[in-house]
Amino acid sequence: MALDANRETINALNVFPVPDGDTGTNMLLSLRSVIEQLPDGTSESANEVAKIVARSALLGARGNSGLILAQYFKGLSEAIGEDTELTGEHFAKSIRHASDSAYKALPNPVEGTMLTVYRECAEISETAAAQNPDLESVMSIVAVEALKSVQRTPQLLPILAEAEVVDSGGFGFAVMIDGALRSLKGEDPIGRKIPVPMPNDSKFTGAIKTDFVNASEEIEWGYCTVFAIESENIDINKLRDQIAKIGRSAVVDGADGIAKVHVHMEDPGLALTMGLDYGQLSNIEIANMDTQASDWAADRREDTSSEDTNLLPVAVVAVAVGAGLKDLIISTGMGATSVLEGGDTMNPSVSDLLAAVEAAPSENVILLPNNKNIIPAALEVPTLTNKDVRVIQTLSIQTGVAALLEFNNTHDINENQKAMNSVLSEIGDGRVCIATRDANVYGNKIKKGMAFATFNEEIIAVGSEPFSVLTELIEAKGEDAEIITIYTGDSIEKDGIESTDKLLRNKFGDLEIEVIYGGQPHYDFLVAVE
C-alpha cells in the first residue's frame, strides 16, 4: 500500500502536542482493516463493495486520523448509493460527505488539519467532476491539489509552522489518493515514497523515531483469526456476541448463508470451534501478530473472568496504559470497571472500544477515553451497540481518574454521567517528559533529551532532568491546589517513588500531594492539579 511506504514519514510529521508520531501507523492499520474486509471476488458491484468498505473502515478505525479516514469510506458508500460503477461524481460526493461528517464528528474541528484537506479536496473535486465526470480525470486533479492543500496547513495551524512540519493526517490522505489513482491507472503504487510538500518547497528532514515505530507496530496482539462460515440461517448477532466475548477486535458480518468472522485472540482454536457450531468453515487465515499481544489478551481475560456473571446496573470502561494506572483504575472502579489498554502511542480502534463495551458486565456503560485523540473514536461507540453508552470526554488519564472517583455503583447511569462530567473542568493536566527529538513546542525550542513540563496547553518549564521541571511545575501551578496527585512513569524505579514523595513533602510541606505509581510510558510524571 502507498501508505506503508510513507508511514514513517507521516509518523515523523506527527509531533504535536507531544511527539508521539503514530498517525501513519494508525492510518495504515485502519486502511488495512478495510482491505482485510474486502470481498474476495470481483463480481461485486461498486455499491456492494462500498457498503462493506464503509462498515469495515469504521470498525477498524484506529486513532483520530483513522476515524477521519473512516468518514471518507462512509461518504463513499453513501455517494454510490444504488449505482454499480464508481464515477468521478461519486468520488467528489464522497469527499464532500467525508468533509461534512468529519467536521461534525469532532467536538472542536481545527483548521490546518486533515479536515481542511478534506474540505478543499471536496471543493476541487466538485468543480472537476462538473467539467469531466471521468473518475481518473477527477482523481488526477484531486491528487495534485491534495498535496497543495497539505502544503498550506502550516499557514492555518501555527503549531505546525512552529514545529516546521505539515499536517500528518492530511498528508496521509493525500498519499492514499495518490496510491488509489496509480492503482486505477494500472501502476503498482507499493513502495512509492512521496516527498512531503513542505512550505516554500523546503525538504522535510524529520528524523525517524524507530523506537516509536517499533512500539506502534506492536499494537496488534495474539493471533489475527479470520474465517468464513457457510450455512443457511446463521444468527449473525448471536455469533457476533459470542465471538466478541472470547476475542477482541471482533468483526462479524454476513449475508446469504455466509458469515465472515474477524477476531484477535490468543487461542484461535476457540473461535474456530465456536464457528463449527454454526456450519462449515472456509477461508481460514490465522496470523501470529506478536508476543506482547498475548500478555495483553491474558490480562484482559483476568479482568473479565473475575467479574460476577450477574449484570451490574452500570459498568465503566476506561482506556489506560501503565501497570500502576491500570491497578489504580480497577481498584477505584467499585468492581464495575475494566481497562482497555491504550494511550498516546496506541489509540484503540472503534472496534477495540466497542468490544470492551460489549464485554462490560452491564447494559449501561460509561466510557472514559482518557486521551484527546481517543475521544472521537469513543464517540462512535454509542451508535454501534444496543447498550446504553455514555462517553465522558476525559482528555487525560488524570482527568479520567478524577471522574472515576465520582463514579458511584449505587447510582444510575444518568446520575453518574452528570457527576463524572462535573469534574472535567476542575482538573489541571500536567505532564513531564523528555523530548525524543528536537521540537518546537508552544514557541519553545526543546532539544532532544531535554526534560519539559506542560500544563494544560502551555509549556511551564524546560530543564535537564524530569524532577526539577516537576518541581517547577508544582511551584507554578500548585499554589492554590486542593490536592496534587503525581503518577510516576515506567522510567521511575519503585524507590524513586518514595524519594520523590519525600523530596516533594520537604519542599512543599503546606501542599497536599500524593505520589502514586502509574507505570505509564513516555511521561516521567503525570500530574493532576485539583
Q: Where do contacts with another protein occur on this chain (CB under 8 A)?
A: 327-328, 331-336, 401, 405-406, 408-410, 419, 482-483, 485, 512, 514, 516, 530
* In the complex, minimum distance from the CB of residue 73 to another protein, in angstroms, rounded to a whole number: 42
Nearer to another protein, 40 or 482 (CB): 482
Least Cβ distance, residue 409 to another protein (angstroms): 5
The C-alpha cell at 427 is 482538573
In terms of C-beta density within 10 A (0-12 exposed, 13-18 middle, 19 or more buried), how is residue 238 classed? exposed
Residues 6 or more apart from 255 whose CB is under 8 A from it?
none
| Residue 280 CA: distances (Å) to CA of 39, 234, 257, 277 | 18, 11, 11, 9
Residue 408 CB, nearest approach to another protein (Å): 6
3-state DSSP assignment of residue 349? strand
36 or 530: CB nearest another protein: 530
Question: Please, which residue, 283 or 331, has the CB nearer to another protein?
Answer: 331
Which residue, 272 or 419, has its beta carbon nearer to another protein? 419
Complex with another protein: residue 268 or 519, whichever CB lies closer: 519
Cell numbers placing 12? 515523523
One-letter amino acid identity for 272?
L
Quickly tell me which residue has 506542560 as its cell: 454
Least spacing, CB of residue 318 vs another protein, in Å: 14
Work out the number of other CB atoms within 10 angstroms of the CB of residue 218: 16
**DSSP H helices in 360-465:** 375-380, 397-406, 413-422
Nearest-approach distance from CB 495 to another protein, in angstroms: 18
| Residue 322 C-beta: closest distance to another protein, Å | 13
Q: How far is the CB of 287 from another protein (least distance, A)?
A: 37
As a whole number of angstroms, the distance between CA 276 and CA 425 comes to 51
CB of 392 to another protein, least distance (A): 16
**Contact in structure between 11 and 63 (CB atoms under 8 Å):** no
Least distance (Å) between residue 410 CB and another protein = 5
- CB closer to another protein out of 30 and 485: 485
Nearest-10 crossing angle of helices 46-60, 63-80: 160
Q: How far is the CB of 366 from another protein (least distance, A)?
A: 15
Of the candidates 12, 18, 111, the residue with the CA atom closest to the CA atom of residue 524: 18
User: Given the complex with another protein, which of 327 and 388 has the nearer CB atom?
Assistant: 327
Helix (H, G, I), strand (E, B) or coil at 428: strand
Rank residues 188 and 512 by Cβ distance to another protein and give the closer one: 512
CA–CA separation, 49 and 267 (whole Å): 31
DSSP H helices in 39-134: 46-60, 63-80, 88-105, 114-131
Q: Which is nearer to another protein, 169 or 428 (CB)?
A: 428
Helix (H) or strand (E) holding 280, with range, is strand 280-288
Fill in the amino acid letter for 74: K
Answer yes or no: are the C-beta atoms of 501 and 508 closer than 8 Å.
no
Closest CB to another protein among residues 409, 421: 409
